[in-house]
Structure 1
Amino acid sequence: MRKALFFLPLIVAFGLGVLFWQSLGKDPSTLPSALINKPLPDFSLPTVEKSSELISAARLKGQPVLLNVWATWCPSCHMEHPYFMQLAKQGVPIIGINYKDDRASAMKWLAELGNPYLFSIFDEKGSLGFDLGVYGAPETYLIDKDGIIRYKHVGVVDERVWREQIQPIYERLKS
């Protein structure tokens, strides 16, 4: 029994080492999503701009859109926001999901930094985020014209991510 207890820390350390080794080189922004190629979960939530305006998944149909999960408490969201402003100026339709945030803070943030979104869904309790499998902000989804989730990116969207990962799929969905 004592010999088994003596080797227990060694066995635990070896197991943790194997797990660590397997995770090396994996890109955390490519976390799998069970929702790829499935419809956007149904929801009915207000917008940040108007608490009386309810949005549902049906409102996102008709054209490919980026669905960006953001929050004022998220430093990475601040980093990617200027690039979303550029994409919006280029005509890329972007819809926001303001995730687990304060409405007044979100409205102030958009007023001060600019608003790249056609509208922002106010997900105060994180219910839509939960249904999407959101790990945290920022996350960006590419939704096709039929409301099907075609791509998920975890982390900041910048020019490289857009050009190399998202834009090719977006262009294919547009045509």
Structure 2
Amino acid sequence: MKRLKLFIPLLVFLLLAGFLYQALYQNPRTLPSALLNKPFPVFSLPGLGENQKTLDASLLKGEVTLVNVWATWCPSCHVEHPFLLRLAQQQGVRIVGINYKDDTQQAKQWLAKLGNPYQATVVDASGDLGIELGVYGAPETYVVDRQGVIRYKHIGVIDERVWQESLQPIVSQLQGKGGPS
């Protein structure tokens, strides 16, 4: 029995080493989301813009949509913004923004200065919608199908590579199910 106790530290070490070894081959940008294949959370929040009043989850039904969580305080959001503009303007990708824990006036000025890729922007000043979505930080982007169901979550900057390798195939597949959106 005493000899068996000598092997306990070795077993603990091997178990821990196995978990760490497995973690080496996981992509940190593919954190699991409890909301995959579930409806986008219900919300009723103000829109960013003079003509937009209260927006809700019905905004995300009818067309395949990228929902992009962004903020003016987020340096990575500044990096991805020009690419989002190209997606919206040149490829006609429908993007809805969630302005996350940000100053509304600064957000309006930012979009006026840099261009607005969003069909609509939801103001999540308190971060409650972000909490429901499981947002780790900005930027994060969700692919939402025509029925308002989250089909994919991307954490980090969207650029040409991410679009081509990850997001575009999913968007194209979802659009193809019922014809082009």
TM range (shorter): 0.7 to 0.9
> Residue 32 of structure 2 corresponds to which residue in structure 1?
32
Name the TM-score, length of structure 1 as normaliser: 0.87
Structure 2 counterpart SS, 1:141: strand
User: What RMSD, in angstroms, separates the aligned Cα atoms of the two structures?
Assistant: 2.2
Q: Give the unaligned 5+ runs of structure 1.
A: 1-12
> Residue 129 of structure 2 corresponds to which residue in structure 1?
128
> Residue 87 of structure 1 corresponds to which residue in structure 2?
87
* Aligned residue runs from structure 1 range 142-161, under 5 A: 142-161=143-162
Separation of aligned partners in 2, 1:62 and 1:55 = 15
Structure 2 counterpart SS, 1:112: helix
Identity %: 56
Separation of aligned partners in 2, 1:15 and 1:50 = 57
Give the letter for the 1:49 counterpart: G
Whether 1:55 and 2:55 are equivalent positions in the alignment is yes
> Residue 98 of structure 1 corresponds to which residue in structure 2?
99
Structure 2 counterpart SS, 1:173: helix
Give the letter for the 2:97 counterpart: G
Separation of aligned partners in 1, 2:166 and 2:55 = 28
Q: Give the unaligned 5+ runs of structure 2.
A: 1-12, 177-181
Give the letter for the 1:91 counterpart: G
Separation of aligned partners in 2, 1:84 and 1:52 = 21
Give the letter for the 2:81 counterpart: H
Give the letter for the 1:97 counterpart: I
Runs of 4+ in 1 over 3 A off after TM superposition: 13-22
> Residue 113 of structure 2 corresponds to which residue in structure 1?
112
> Residue 141 of structure 1 corresponds to which residue in structure 2?
142
Separation of aligned partners in 1, 2:33 and 2:20 = 22
